[in-house]
Structure 1
Amino acid sequence: MIATRGRRAMVTALVGACALATVTACSSDSGSSAGGSSVLTIQGDAGNPTLVENFNPLMSSNALHGVNLIYEPLEIVSPIDGSFTPFLATSHKFINSTTLTFTLRSGVKWSDGTPFTAQDVVFTFNLLKKFPALDGTGVWQHLSSISASGSTVTMKFSSPSVPAAAIVAAVPIVPQHIWSKIADPTKFTNTKPVGTGPFTLQSFAPTEYTLVKNPTYWQASKIAPTEVKFPAQASSQSANQLQVTSGAFDWAYNYLPDVQKTYVDRDPKQNTYWFPPGGTIGLYLNLTKSPYSNADFRKGISLALDRTTIAKKAVNGYLDQASMSGLILPNLQKWLDPSLPNKGLITQSVSAAMASFAQAGYTMKGGKLVGSDGKQVTMTISMPNNFSDWVAAATEVSTELKAVGIQVNLDEPQFAQYQTEIQSGSFDAAIGGFGGSGSPYTDFNNALNSQFAAPLKTATANNFERFKDPAVDSALNTLAGATDEAAQQKATYALEQAMYEQTPVVLLYYGGSWGLFSTKNFTGWPSASNPYTLPTNYNQSLLMVVTHLTKS
């Protein structure tokens, strides 16, 4: 599969479909104007094709995608450039590097008519503390306390944590007057959700659920759809693609090999797409093993690769090679160190690769790259067997590394085994995702912070390559506590230089977000000319998109 949701930018999600007749029938709206239907149909949740009813926003990994239209966060952080869009909060401000305040919006009501207050925010965050299983983003790894006074919520961090504003801002807020009565919210499926968002649950069936517009929503005038339908989706990639190309959805999220021919040309006046970079795909090398522990050897691998060809093989050329700065460009262009050659893009050079290998103590003999012991360098690259773009990338990497004398084998386990391998450090090399949060700090911290460099056979959630550098840790600490942009820029430049000079991960190409849209019923979709969010239809981008849509 290409770009499945389970990797979001390790990286993103494919979902399948119920019968075409059912979907198209569901999309009708007898009360709509001649300009098109007021019902928004979204390719949504995988169900094979039976859906499991769960609208618990604090257990997002199990909840249905539509929950993002029922519950709102304080602010939504752009996964493109890290900018904040206010929702339940109108603004936030750092008093110092450990104290953050949010000013809440007035006049907001829960969908049952109860006023929304600051106590709902305090209650929600304390709920995450009381039930750590709900704290999937690690809020209380940063927070030390939360309090409220009037419309101001104050959060105190245990250490300088300026980038953590993006984490706490994104927490969906739940109503205290309902959730305080729930004995165990980790098991609560919330089949009668009460939120502050633009939609409420109208009906649920195993094959489809429908949300209806919330008339008391604080910005109801901005909401064009009167209903949103999420048909159940199968797990078959081919079924997904057939449903999308048949025109069953206003908004789909699916990789199509030839999107112009298979989708746009079927209805060129109304079908459009946007495939922006949503993360970076890289070759992770196990830095606890020789020769990967040698930075010159890693540079040799980087220089030996033709990233443009790899991107063409992996994602049909929709996206191009990634910058070794570690930034997703042009999304994070403002943070790019101008001293990096060619924006951090690496041009393949076999001669330069061989020079770098020689610096590490490896030379070519008889068509084989050998070390001082005379043995050929061998590498096994691991990737999930159903991530077809990663498999294609690894196949091309294998071909190119064999050309410089490295014997490469491909290991294609099921995702669960692959995940165990990379988390425990039991791999030579692995294809994986890097970045995609919209925040340079978050992207670099996850990949490079030595605190994540757990011993081999001990699972870690990040820094799978086990990179360690005190200077990098220092730059991360500086960035975490910096409240002015000049200091943030300086620390970010240092991290980019570490990526470029030390090659802790060999970044290859940008992984796509596969947004497919019909303008038959609605316009205002995110696009290259209006990149207000990524076109992902399974997270808070849903809320961003529906507040931007207008009736066709």
Structure 2
Amino acid sequence: MKRRTPMLLCAAATTVALFGTAACSGSDVKSSSSAGSGTLTIQGDAGNPTLVENFNPFASTALHGQFLMYEPLEIPSPIDGTYTPFLATGYKFTNPTTLVYTLRPNVKWSDGQAFSANDVTFTFNLLKKFPALDTRGIWAQVASVSGAGNTFTVTFKQPNVPFAAQVAQVPIVAEHAWSSVADPVKYTDTKPVVTGPFTLDTFAPTQYKLKKNPNYWQADKVTPSEVAFPAQASNQATNQLDVTSGKFDWAYTFIPDVKNTYVNRDSAHNTYWFPPGGTIGLFLNLTKAPYDNVSFRKGVSESLNRTTIAQKAVNGYLDQASMSGLILPNLQKWLDPSIPNSGNITQSASQAQQDFAAAGYHLTGGKLIGSNGKQATMTIVMPGNFSDWVAAAKEVATELGQVGIKVSLDEPQYAQYSTATQGGTFDAAMGGFAGSGDPYTDFNNGLNSSFAAAVKTPTVNNFQRFKDPSVDQALGALAAATDPSAQRNATFALEQVMYNQVPVVLLYYGGSWGLFRDNHFTGWPSAQNPYTLPTNYTNAMLVVATRLQSAS
């Protein structure tokens, strides 16, 4: 099964905003008829095929349609961090711990009541009162919030400029609708009161529909008159057949040989875009020898042909990943120009053997033997149903075998994989690195020593348990930086650590598998217009829905 590219943190973030300036861009699309232009059909909600009605925007089990109903303040692009404003028109940091949003005027809830700063303040305090709703960890960073007039102010416990992205993406709920909800954690919100472009129309176990919200503040930029979400089958083969038959305007599915199996089925209308949505890497457990030795890690990295690995894993749709830790070319503006070849590593068996020798290992009789007289071994763990990871790991095993390392694969269910990686009880593991659109968030999640819990103590990030005081210092500097030069310098320092210390052996870019039909609507994200990832299970849906135009 090809799955959505995993990240070490599910929430997207954005590039660090400049001190005292707004960091947003409008959705520069042509106005459409407010009456709408037909039905937009989206693949995505798993139902097996029965759907469970839940539109609580804070619930992990919420149906994806909630992204088209509830709006946040702003949405940063997971590609390059560019903001699209929604309930806020912009923001500024008055100092590194004080963030002020300007709220959009003349917004109404779908029941006709006026939206105000009170709704925003209520929403954030709701997350504080019910921590289970606070999936973005807002109150771990925020000291207080307040709203008055057309402004909403957030005060941080300590400087954390990049965290503005998490604040911006909290879905805002109506105080008058939610203040009487006894248990917001269990609330399924079957009659949503929203500010977004669509409201709930009909619901059935096999499909639900949204209808255009006549009170929407930018209704003239919403082309579809309704959105249909059929239940997605649990069988991947069935899903692929549904997609290739033209059932959806917007689908998200990995399809081998996409040009022949999808595009050529209707070359006049079928298109695809598979941009990098994250990086897939080989995580070596740094609490174990020999993986704790940087020379050994470099040897592993030099032994691998990443282009071949990418070909095996994702059919060559994407290529090798930069060891800078950045997703390129998305974050090209942050790349340290002193890093050779943009951080791309060329396979070199001779260089690998030099690195292994520095770690005390030598090739003898086709085996890489350490000072203890034993062959170097490695067990790579990954979920057995993540087919691209399995394919990549098999190629990694083959290539490391060629330099004398004995590699075996462990392919458990996801739950067992998660327990091993979070608890640090593994040799090596396939996993996701980066993908937020923001260098700080990516490096912080992957390298911050605060996540490096003791073995058998679960952690949510930095599974390899990397520790370096200079990295923590650079992360702190980047968190507090409001000057562009300071931001770049701190980011460059983190890239140098990734490249020279190899805390994770980055392999290839994992794709976002966007598939579109433009016989009804145009304006989909693409390589020519990469305004967001084509993920129809995140708030990118809201950005896309307000940019689509009628094909007629």
Q: TM-score, normalised on structure 2?
A: 0.95
Measure, in 2, the Cα distance between the counterparts of 1:350 and 1:204: 59
Q: Any conservation in 2 of the 1:9–1:511 contact (CA below 8 Å)? A: no
User: What's the counterpart of residue 368 of structure 1?
Assistant: 367
Cα deviation for residue 343 of structure 1 reads 0.2
For residues 347-362 of structure 1, the aligned pairs below 5 Å read: 347-362=346-361
Q: Deviations over 1:474-505 (max 9, x none)?
A: 00000000011111100000000000000000
Is 1:116 the equivalent of 2:115? yes
Measure, in 1, the Cα distance between the counterparts of 2:8 and 2:216: 32
User: What's the counterpart of residue 50 of structure 1?
Assistant: 50
Is 1:3 the equivalent of 2:3? yes
Measure, in 2, the Cα distance between the counterparts of 1:77 and 1:239: 33
Q: Any conservation in 2 of the 1:9–1:278 contact (CA below 8 Å)? A: no
User: What's the counterpart of residue 303 of structure 2?
Assistant: 304
Q: Deviations over 1:5-37 (max 9, x none)?
A: 7x367789xxxxxxxxxxxxxxxxxxxx9xx96
User: What's the counterpart of residue 485 of structure 1?
Assistant: 484
Q: Any conservation in 2 of the 1:450–1:469 contact (CA below 8 Å)? A: yes
Q: Could you list the runs of 5+ residues in structure 1 that have no partner in the other structure? A: 13-32
**Counterpart code for 2:411:** E
Measure, in 1, the Cα distance between the counterparts of 2:285 and 2:464: 5
SS at match of 1:187: coil
Is 1:318 the equivalent of 2:317? yes
Q: Deviations over 1:111-130 (max 9, x none)?
A: 00010000100000011111
For residues 248-397 of structure 1, the aligned pairs below 5 Å read: 248-397=247-396
**Counterpart code for 2:55:** F
Supply the RMSD in Å over aligned alpha carbons. 1.3
SS at match of 2:420: helix
Structure 1 residue runs of 4+, over 6 Å off?
9-12
Measure, in 1, the Cα distance between the counterparts of 2:156 and 2:487: 19
Measure, in 2, the Cα distance between the counterparts of 1:58 and 1:526: 26
Cα deviation for residue 44 of structure 1 reads 1.7
Q: TM-score, normalised on structure 1?
A: 0.95
Q: Deviations over 1:72-116 (max 9, x none)?
A: 000001100011111000000001110000000000000000100
Q: Any conservation in 2 of the 1:10–1:433 contact (CA below 8 Å)? A: no
Q: Any conservation in 1 of the 2:278–2:433 contact (CA below 8 Å)? A: yes
Q: Any conservation in 1 of the 2:8–2:445 contact (CA below 8 Å)? A: no
User: What's the counterpart of residue 27 of structure 1?
Assistant: none
User: What's the counterpart of residue 398 of structure 2?
Assistant: 399
Measure, in 2, the Cα distance between the counterparts of 1:255 and 1:403: 31
Structure 2 CA distance for partners of 1:37 and 1:258, relative to 1, 3 Å: farther
Measure, in 2, the Cα distance between the counterparts of 1:481 and 1:215: 42
Is 1:541 the equivalent of 2:540? yes
Cα deviation for residue 385 of structure 1 reads 0.4
Is 1:38 the equivalent of 2:38? yes
User: What's the counterpart of residue 99 of structure 1?
Assistant: 98
User: What's the counterpart of residue 26 of structure 1?
Assistant: none
Q: Deviations over 1:179-215 (max 9, x none)?
A: 1101110000000001100000000000000000001
Structure 2 CA distance for partners of 1:11 and 1:364, relative to 1, 3 Å: farther
Measure, in 2, the Cα distance between the counterparts of 1:515 and 1:11: 18
Q: Deviations over 1:355-403 (max 9, x none)?
A: 0000111111111001101100110000000000000000000000000
Q: Any conservation in 2 of the 1:4–1:387 contact (CA below 8 Å)? A: no
Structure 2 CA distance for partners of 1:517 and 1:283, relative to 1, 3 Å: same
Q: Any conservation in 1 of the 2:279–2:327 contact (CA below 8 Å)? A: yes
For residues 403-482 of structure 1, the aligned pairs below 5 Å read: 403-482=402-481
User: What's the counterpart of residue 229 of structure 1?
Assistant: 228
Q: Deviations over 1:207-243 (max 9, x none)?
A: 0000000011000000000000000011111011000
SS at match of 1:110: coil
Q: Any conservation in 2 of the 1:3–1:512 contact (CA below 8 Å)? A: no
Measure, in 2, the Cα distance between the counterparts of 1:226 and 1:401: 55
Measure, in 1, the Cα distance between the counterparts of 2:264 and 2:113: 49
User: What's the counterpart of residue 146 of structure 1?
Assistant: 145
Is 1:215 the equivalent of 2:220? no
Measure, in 1, the Cα distance between the counterparts of 2:65 and 2:316: 32
Q: Any conservation in 2 of the 1:513–1:534 contact (CA below 8 Å)? A: yes
SS at match of 1:185: coil
Cα deviation for residue 4 of structure 1 reads 3.5
Q: Any conservation in 1 of the 2:9–2:461 contact (CA below 8 Å)? A: no
Cα deviation for residue 415 of structure 1 reads 0.3
SS at match of 2:338: coil
Q: Deviations over 1:24-57 (max 9, x none)?
A: xxxxxxxxx9xx9610000020010000000000
User: What's the counterpart of residue 25 of structure 1?
Assistant: none
Cα deviation for residue 3 of structure 1 reads 2.1
Measure, in 1, the Cα distance between the counterparts of 2:510 and 2:165: 22
**Counterpart code for 1:375:** K
Cα deviation for residue 528 of structure 1 reads 0.4
Q: Any conservation in 2 of the 1:423–1:458 contact (CA below 8 Å)? A: yes
Measure, in 1, the Cα distance between the counterparts of 2:10 and 2:308: 20
Q: Any conservation in 2 of the 1:11–1:511 contact (CA below 8 Å)? A: no
For residues 184-223 of structure 1, the aligned pairs below 5 Å read: 184-223=183-222
